[in-house]
């Protein structure tokens, strides 16, 4: 077992895999850099085919005993895991801020508390699932949610800890064993999570981590026929590859993908409130899949709204995410910076007007100024494709029908925002084709509610019963109410 560690912000982190309750090093390593100042954080073990195989074999071996426990017997493990995250809260905050550029304020007040809740809430909710009776005239149907088997969880770099625990909670609570493939660009808080699992006493093999690239480690993992489920959050191209690999083995997938969500400002909207909320779309440097990135503004309130939002954007502090006053931090990686710059440049070359921003920010190499573009065609690349950076677009509309047509006029359908008179905004929201949509608000979430997208934004739903529908094999045990006698006279 490897005991080697790297140190980030004064906290020790293992750079190695976690398989069958032990740290496992690899001869193949990759460099991990801090997005804030491009400093080397450490060299991380890359998962090979042998590591993937070892993790799957460990998860398979641990599955029978873990699955045999009741939800009530599994619950203390998840509660202890949540408590261990709480004990290491400062480490999680500092490491993820350095590793992924996540705002320290967001880590402290949002991500870490939510990560703990993801585990404890689903552990509690699992208690309600077993043997739900459904009465019909002929029989009692005992609907069971049985563990499916070995689950692969693949998480993105824009919120590694929150999204890992969001999937891990229901997967473990349902009785599955798990292999997490963390993001190559931000793997360190998943490594800390393994320390928590070890301290919480999870049996060896119940929770495993294999690090590495998507094209290498991830591809080997999702192609394996021994998996029972694959849960992925990330890009559309990667999801298509995963779906093809999983389809060859008929392994069910849950895919939470990108967004190009509308932010609709109706004529009767509270413009100041809408503008203040609009400025929030730049948080995490715009690297948020559920953000409203396409602003659709009624033409009569366009000037007033733009003036109000410009004022709020001017107040945003761009800088080091480890400063709790910072509101816009760095873009995760130089390749992502190039992607963002390319989108903006091509849009401007095609005739788009820059309302504000439109250039790198002087704070650092991986910083880009909060940007708003206007005067684009609906068919343009910048309107149709996800940028995943601090870049928004603005279009105007004349009436509700045009607003709805523009909102629905992309291949994405993850989220959305509508500001206006409550009844009016609700009526518009109901006609927008999307997995969820906020009326006069943003970011309100409940673990019991469904989350996911339509069209290219995903397949399936997470949250509440929907998570367990995916992570479980649902079985109907049929008990007749009257004595049953076989008859061959008819079928």
Residue numbers annotated as active site: 256, 289
Q: What is the pLDDT of residue 344?
A: 98
Note the CATH number of domain 261-439: 3.40.309.10
Nearest to 221 by CA among 193, 182, 187: 182
Residues 262 and 432: beta-carbon distance below 8 Å: yes
The whole-number pLDDT of residue 129 equals 86
**Please, what's the largest Cα pairwise distance for the chain?**
83
What are the residue ranges of CATH 3.40.605.10 in the chain?
6-257+457-477
Tell me, what's the pLDDT at 99? 97
pTM of the model: 0.95
Best CATH choice for the domain 6-257+457-477 from the list 3.40.50.1820, 3.40.50.2300, 3.30.470.30, 3.40.605.10: 3.40.605.10
Q: Residues of 138-165 as b/e, b for ≥16 C-beta within 10 angstroms?
A: ebeeeeebebbbbbbbbbbbbbbbbbbb
Mean pLDDT by 10 residues, the chain (491 residues): 89 98 96 97 97 98 98 98 98 98 97 98 93 89 95 96 98 98 98 98 98 95 98 96 96 96 98 98 95 98 98 97 97 97 98 98 97 97 97 98 98 98 98 98 95 96 96 95 81 53
Domain with CATH 3.40.309.10 in the chain: 261-439
């Amino acid at each position: 077992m490897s005991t080697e560690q790297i140190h980030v912000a004064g906290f020790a982190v293992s750079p190695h895999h976690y398989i069958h309750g032990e740290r496992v090093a690899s001869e193949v390593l990759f460099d991990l850099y801090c997005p804030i100042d491009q400093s080397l954080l450490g060299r991380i073990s890359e998962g090979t085919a042998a590591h993937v195989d070892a993790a799957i074999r460990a998860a398979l071996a641990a599955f029978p005993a873990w699955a045999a426990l009741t939800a009530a017997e599994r619950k203390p493990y998840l509660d202890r895991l949540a408590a261990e995250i709480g004990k290491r809260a400062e480490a999680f905050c500092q490491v993820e801020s350095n590793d992924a550029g996540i705002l320290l304020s967001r880590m402290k007040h949002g991500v870490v508390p939510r990560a703990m809740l993801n585990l404890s809430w689903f552990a509690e909710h699992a208690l309600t699932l077993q043997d739900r009776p459904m009465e019909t005239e002929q029989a009692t149907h005992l609907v069971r949610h049985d563990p499916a088997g070995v689950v692969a969880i693949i998480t993105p770099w824009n919120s590694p800890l929150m999204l890992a625990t969001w999937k891990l909670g229901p997967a473990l609570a349902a009785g599955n064993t798990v292999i997490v493939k963390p993001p190559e660009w931000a793997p360190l808080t998943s490594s800390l999570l393994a320390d928590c699992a070890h301290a919480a006493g999870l049996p060896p093999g119940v929770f495993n981590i294999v690090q590495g690239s998507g094209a290498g480690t991830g591809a080997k993992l999702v192609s394996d026929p021994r998996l029972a489920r694959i849960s992925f959050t990330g890009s559309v191209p990667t999801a298509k590859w995963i779906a093809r690999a999983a389809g060859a083995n008929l392994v069910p997938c849950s895919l939470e993908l990108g967004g190009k969500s509308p932010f609709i400002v109706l004529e009767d909207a509270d413009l100041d409130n809408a503008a203040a909320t609009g400025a929030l779309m730049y948080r995490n440097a715009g690297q948020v899949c559920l953000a409203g990135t396409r602003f659709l503004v009624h033409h009569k309130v366009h000037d007033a709204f733009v003036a109000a939002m410009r004022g709020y954007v001017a107040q945003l502090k761009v800088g080091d995410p480890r400063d709790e006053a910072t509101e816009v931090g760095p873009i995760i990686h130089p390749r992502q910076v190039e992607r963002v710059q390319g989108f903006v440049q091509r849009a401007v070359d095609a005739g788009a007007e820059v309302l504000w921003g439109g250039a790198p920010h002087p704070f650092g190499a991986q910083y880009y100024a909060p940007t708003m573009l206007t005067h684009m065609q609906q068919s343009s690349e910048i309107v149709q494709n996800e940028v995943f950076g601090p870049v928004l677009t603005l279009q105007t509309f004349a009436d509700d029908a045009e607003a709805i047509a523009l909102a629905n006029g992309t291949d994405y359908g993850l989220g959305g925002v509508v500001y206006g008179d409550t009844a009016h905004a609700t009526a518009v929201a109901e006609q927008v084709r999307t997995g969820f949509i906020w009326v006069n608000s943003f970011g309100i979430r409940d673990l019991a509610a469904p989350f996911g997208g339509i069209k290219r934004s995903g397949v399936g739903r997470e949250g509440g019963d929907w998570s367990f529908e995916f992570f479980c094999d649902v079985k109907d045990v049929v008990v007749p109410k009257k004595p049953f006698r076989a008859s061959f006279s008819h079928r």
